[in-house]
Amino acid sequence: MSTKPDYSAKAQKYVRYRWEYAAEAVQSIFQTANLSAASVVADIGAGTGKLSRHFVGRVRMVYAIEPEVSMRRMAEEVFCGCTDCVVLDGSAEAIPLPEGTMDLITVAQAIHWFDPSPARAEFLRILKPSGWLALVRNYGIDPELNEAIEGILQPEWFKPVARQVNQSLEELAAFYFGGQDVLHRIFPFYFRQDWLAFLGALTTTPGTLDEDHPDFPGFASAAQEIFERFSQGGWMEVHGETELLIGRPQ
């Protein structure tokens, strides 16, 4: 069974409910890679453009590369009318961009789904000789809440997915950066969400059921028990971290 997630029913939820990346992490990318209004950025596995949009209007061009049809179409809606962002059908292993043209490649959660060797080869092909690679991910830091959520995910789906997603960025960095100096920083974030936002964010996760699944009512009931356990006055406090690794790949 493939462990790649199916996001065909999740694109709209991604736009509305998926966690944002800490603004300080994005600013750190700009500072480290010396980005300017003349820079060109490729966001690989861009999804609906959650990370891409932080670069739009601040660099010359952003290429949002996404292989999944529904996610890509949603990104096209998000960036409709933007002259400095182009959404393209492509994957990390076959990037539809010319060689030696990118100042920066960004990859968020999608890094865990790439076939590492061909992806690294493609990164090196499209980057300028002095180009940068930034790996970014979000995660919650409340162990009790994380354990409760894992307990209601589909075990036949979540276990193989978890093994892949839980691979640390340090392990990935050792491969993609080849032992070169890499800046590794953690940026904490905090926000509050109500029940609908909690359920919406939860259903963007691989291993969660969608509304058309016959078992969704039971899943939603279990999720509501978790929300009630960890919320007060109808609001849940979310404490998380954006993890950033940025360097020059080898």
Q: How many CB atoms lie within 10 A of CB 233?
A: 6
pLDDT at 105: 98
pLDDT at 157: 43
pLDDT digit string (tens) for 76-105? 999 999 999 999 999 999 999 999 999 999
pLDDT exceeds cutoff 90 at 165:
no
Largest CA distance in the chain: 54
pLDDT digit string (tens) for 229-249? 999 999 999 999 999 999 999
DSSP code of 234? T
pLDDT exceeds cutoff 60 at 3:
no
Q: Structure tokens of 137?
A: 């991910």
Which one has a higher pLDDT value, 97 or 11? 97
128 φ, ψ (degrees, to nearest 5): -65, 160
Which one has a higher pLDDT value, 215 or 73? 73
Which one has a higher pLDDT value, 141 or 2? 141
pLDDT exceeds cutoff 80 at 111:
yes
Strand residues in the chain grouped as ranges (E): 40-44, 61-65, 85-88, 102-107, 127-140, 182-193, 231-232, 235-247
pLDDT exceeds cutoff 80 at 8:
no
Residue in 23, 25, 9 with CA at minimum distance from that of residue 183: 25
161 beta partners: none
Please state the pTM of the whole predicted model.
Answer: 0.90
pLDDT digit string (tens) for 170-210? 777 788 988 778 999 999 999 999 999 999 999 887 667 78
91 beta partners: 94
Which one has a higher pLDDT value, 26 or 212? 26
Dihedral sign computed on CA atoms, order 193, 199, 201, 207: positive
- Say if residues 31 and 134 touch (Cβ distance below 8 Å): no
Domains and CATH numbers, the chain: 11-140+167-191+239-247 (3.40.50.150)
Using a pLDDT cut of 90, give the percent of the chain over it: 72
Q: How many CB atoms lie within 10 A of CB 229?
A: 11
* DSSP class per residue in 134-199: EEEEEEE--HHHHHHHHTTS-HHHHHHHHHHHTS-HHHHHHHHSTT--EEEEEEEEEEEE-HHHHH
> How high is the mean pLDDT of the chain?
89
pLDDT digit string (tens) for 35-69? 999 999 999 999 999 999 999 999 999 999 999 99
Residue in 222, 215, 10 with CA at minimum distance from that of residue 109: 10
Identity of the amino acid at 123: F
List, in order, residues 6 or more apart from 66 with CB less than 8 Å away. 45, 46, 47, 72, 75, 87, 88, 89, 90
pLDDT digit string (tens) for 115-157? 999 999 999 999 999 999 999 999 999 999 999 998 887 654 4
- Say if residues 190 and 23 touch (Cβ distance below 8 Å): no
